[in-house]
Amino acid sequence: MNSAYFSEEHELFRASFKDFLQKEVVPHIDKWEKTGTIERFIWKKFGDMGFLGLTYPETYGGLNLDLFYTVVFLEELQKIHSSGFAAAMWAHTYLAMTHLNAEGSEQIKRDYLAPSISGDKIGALCITEPFGGSDVAGMKTTAVKKGNSYIINGSKTFITNGVYADYYVVAAKTNVELGNKGISIFLVDTKCSGISATKLDKLGWRASDTAEIAFDNVEIPLENLMGEEGKGFPYIMQHFALERLIMAVNAHARAEYALEYTIDYMSKREAFGKTIDKFQALRHTLVNHATDVEHCKIFNYAAVSRLIKGEYVVKEATMAKLKSTKVADETIYSCLQMLGGYGYMEDYPLARLFRDSRLGPIGGGTSEILREILSKMIIDNKNYQPAVK
């Protein structure tokens, strides 16, 4: 236990959540990985236990706990051998629901945030577009005001929970001429006519449902606008620090899991009359990776602590995701190598971990984009400020 950040209560929660995952989730993981569908019952079980509302207001059924409970939540989800399942849970809880809580009206919070916390509704955040990628400001989806409604047209892609979500939080341009200053955020119920979702076939994250979504003259009421019209881009930017820290924590946790599994395997696997954990080349390789992972973990914890204090940690969060996802990929690559031929077999966890980890440097802003953001801050002395106070 790192007592600088985690209290006894955090560790009691960790033990309880770990036990829950082993009993309620792990027995179903392989099935969900094969079918690509997470059954609805598990969302309700998460909701009943309060796991979907850790940091949310008690008014809507949340527990109003600090962000290190979320860190525990993320870390333990990475250690049950399915980053896809983990992604479905945290994308709902910390992408879609973050916008509901921050920008949603009281009505939206009652109708969507509360049932999201209870596990009765599943949400998806729809920002990325087929030809936009990390270029959020270049989105083409539009929302045109018509009488008492907005009419949404366009498409989104790589949307986690996109097929079986009950609602979408959608970014669309309400004023095309204004560029990123013309983007707004909307709540779109998936029961609306004109929505079609196509499931995508992925290299990894097999358990999670990832979709391309088309909006064809989808009509929503004016009150489904979240926050102010034209403030969508600042809202999105405001929440990127949390998203990047989430992906950084995910990365250090899965790398740590890979190391733990590999060290245990090596202590039992024999070659040339001794267990392979006694070979210096392998030992030193693992130690190098363990050192990198520990550095990432401590940095990530420090960034989360500063975020809790209200600091705008855009630089630190960007660094955290950039470094942690790189370290996770490198660590898991080596761990797979340590298992030899068995590492390449689907019966062993490293094959799935290897595929799942590769999404880290791509999702939530590619590493290339993150390096350019950091270049502007470090080299060009650009000082980003909170977009919304």
- Of the candidates 359, 318, 348, 365, the one whose C-alpha atom is nearest the C-alpha of residue 203 is 359
Return left, alpha or beta for 164; rule: phi > 0 is left, psi -120 to 50 is alpha, else beta. alpha
Q: What are phi and psi of 128, to 5 degrees?
A: -65, 140
Return left, alpha or beta for 193; rule: phi > 0 is left, psi -120 to 50 is alpha, else beta. beta
198 neighbors 36 (Cβ within 8 angstroms)? no
Query: How many CB atoms are closer than 10 A to CB 54?
Result: 22
Encoded tokens for 113: 């945030």
Burial class (CB in 10 A: 0-12, 13-18, 19+), 218: buried
Encoded tokens for 299: 């940095």
- Of the candidates 211, 303, 189, the one whose C-alpha atom is nearest the C-alpha of residue 249 is 303
144 neighbors 150 (Cβ within 8 angstroms)? yes
Active site residue 243: yes
CA distance 213 to 210: 10
CA distance 42 to 45: 5
Helix (H) or strand (E) holding 256: helix 232-268
Encoded tokens for 277: 């954990």
103, 243, 256, 316: which is the annotated catalytic residue? Answer: 243
Beta strands 142-146 and 149-160 are antiparallel
Q: How many CA atoms lie within 13 A of 258 on its CB side?
A: 35
**Catalytic residue set:** 243
